[in-house]
Structure 1
């Protein structure tokens, strides 16, 4: 009896092994055939695109219909995506290619020929729409609706689509939805959306400034950071940032506005920075101590000589770096030897070493001396 069981088990094992092997071999054959088919289609599409677009000939109706036909299947759509990405990577994206793509590719075509499972289908459709920058009433509607989806991938891809469409009013609608939704949007994603907007970014910046006060703190700080990243130094933005840094009661807004003036120089901010070196929030003191190096002045030097002894390490650290950038070596040495606070002496000695004002041996000697003196 046991012999029969062993034989039957072995037969079942062989059958299962055969089925698995057949499946794997079939999959490999299918993938190889698919890849060959895709490569063949890619070569044909590249030939059309490079010959007609690169030489300013333009594609005629016959070319467009041929590409439409090729891209009407799942493998064909994949091939067209690869050919399209290769072309814009080498030639850039312009109005001409945008017009052709919007004639060839549509939401319905992408939806019909999606090559991923249903669970990821909507996200993948939005991804392809954003890659092709498909601009239609349908895609605009879907992109805004999808900002409220439960899936973070769908939300991010819909934001990417809006970014790539490049319409200012559509972008403002999206930002308004984000401002009022409880759905999570990563701060880096939001900043990328603003920094790499494909439309008229100057108009977008101006319109955002007009309603900046209506946004929540998170969104407001990201918009300010965006202005900083772009080094947008328009008078209207500088005036607004000066107002926020001097009147806001929110430390995150003050910090973002302060960082703006590290990249965009406006001497009107100097006195405000001097005042904020004594702010109740250490984060505000720390960023003010860092940015003040861009605005050297006598009052700042006097305050920095105090803040190198601040209770917070980051305030001391930034204060020491800014102080060294403003004072002569002899004056710094005098401050190092005569300051009453041990922690101030320690941080000043360290920053002097980092800036090659003193060597490592001198730095260690000062540390030992300060340790013995206490403070």
Structure 2
């Protein structure tokens, strides 16, 4: 367990990384905008100036929270999976099919079946990479990246052909789901939908799983020292496969929540990289469920700020991409620094 001093140093490093990334974005605005104060105000203040923008921040944070949790689980197990995007598509696709073809079920059972199918599809699709990792020693970065393309292109084919809504015209989408199963707004007139409740519940469940259950203990032990875990009688392959499937289930949940809360149906290319954004969230939060909540809202806040900045000034929303890229670089550098510090302590060095 980390000492209070280590936790404080880690949080300080993350805070410094965030501030430096923001400073880089501000520098670009100051150097290129003819109205920098307006652009900065739009980026920083506008996302919280009205209920619609606040609701948009919440809605954008929901899938980020779920994909961040998905990747935190496998990262803690020592598996660098990049497959959340494909698992998200498979989960959303299976959930949408369940929503269309099981609509004769009672409302509550219909909703449960939709969520269950989405999570099962994500878990089973993730299991492909898990089995390749555990029994063929295939590199999970390569397999999960390739499986992302397989999922995206396969669902694209089906939504353009087999399951395409005949009334959709030129749009590649399925039929719209019944309004009964869609996630309703939290408050009438407020744009945030009920997906935030599901996401926060997932945070609590993942926290309890990782830190209060035997499964979480084994998972974290394998991630920290696989040889020691094996010596202690823990099946490394079983734990790795379990972690990858839990991750896939969470990614599938992210896909169907995005569909039920925003789109109302499965659309081609509906994700826009949510699975890859989850990698940034998990890294920024140091794979801790509570940190993922904070990181998701911060990331969503920057995204909405970029949109309001583009609408209200002469700066494009791509400035947010600069901030995101700098976050990845700086947070990764912090990770390298911590790794070096740990090794030097083991060797008796002084940091």
How high is the TM-score relative to the length of structure 1?
Answer: 0.19
Q: Which has the larger radius of gyration?
A: 1
Relative contact order, CA 8 A, sep 6+: which one is greater?
Answer: 2
> TM (normalized to structure 2)?
0.20
